[in-house]
């Protein structure tokens, strides 16, 4: 019995992490898993325990979420490197400009 309770607590934590990381509601999670929002709420408040099928659907969604997070991290790393390159190029260009051109460039940038 203690093992089942521990399993349910771990599952509840996994759901809470999924909800916070994906910034979705209980209702959206329920819809994606073919459940009702009331069912997800009952799990989180220890009113009901999820069945094996429901656990599989939620765990699959968590796994997909983790894959997307890793893909997004790679995209952000790539963007960060690109931004650094752009900043370096912009610094080179600005260093060759006279003061008047720099003022005009800043004026344009402020309007964006």
- Measured over all CA atoms, what is the biggest interatomic distance in the chain, rounded to whole angstroms? 77
- Fill in the DSSP letter of residue 34: T
The pLDDT tens digits of the residues spanning 30-68 come to 998 899 999 999 999 989 888 888 888 888 887 877 777
Based on the structure, what is the number of domains in the chain?
A: 1
Structure pTM? 0.56
CATH number of domain containing 61: 1.10.260.40
The pLDDT tens digits of the residues spanning 90-107 come to 777 777 878 887 777 777
Q: Which range of residues forms the domain containing residue 94? A: 2-111
pLDDT reported for residue 4: 64
Structure tokens given for 67 = 């894959």
d(Cα 73, Cα 16) in Å, to the nearest integer? 21
């Amino acid at each position: 019995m203690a093992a089942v309770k521990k399993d349910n607590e771990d599952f509840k934590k996994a759901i809470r992490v999924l909800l916070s990381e994906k910034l979705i509601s209980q209702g959206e999670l329920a819809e994606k898993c073919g459940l009702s929002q009331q069912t997800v709420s009952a799990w989180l408040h220890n009113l009901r325990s999820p069945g094996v099928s429901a656990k599989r659907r939620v765990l699959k969604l968590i796994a997909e979420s983790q894959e997307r997070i890793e893909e997004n991290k790679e995209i952000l790393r790539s963007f960060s490197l690109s931004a650094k390159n752009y900043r370096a190029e912009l610094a080179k260009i600005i260093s060759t400009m006279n003061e008047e051109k720099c003022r005009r460039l800043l004026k344009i940038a402020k309007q964006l």
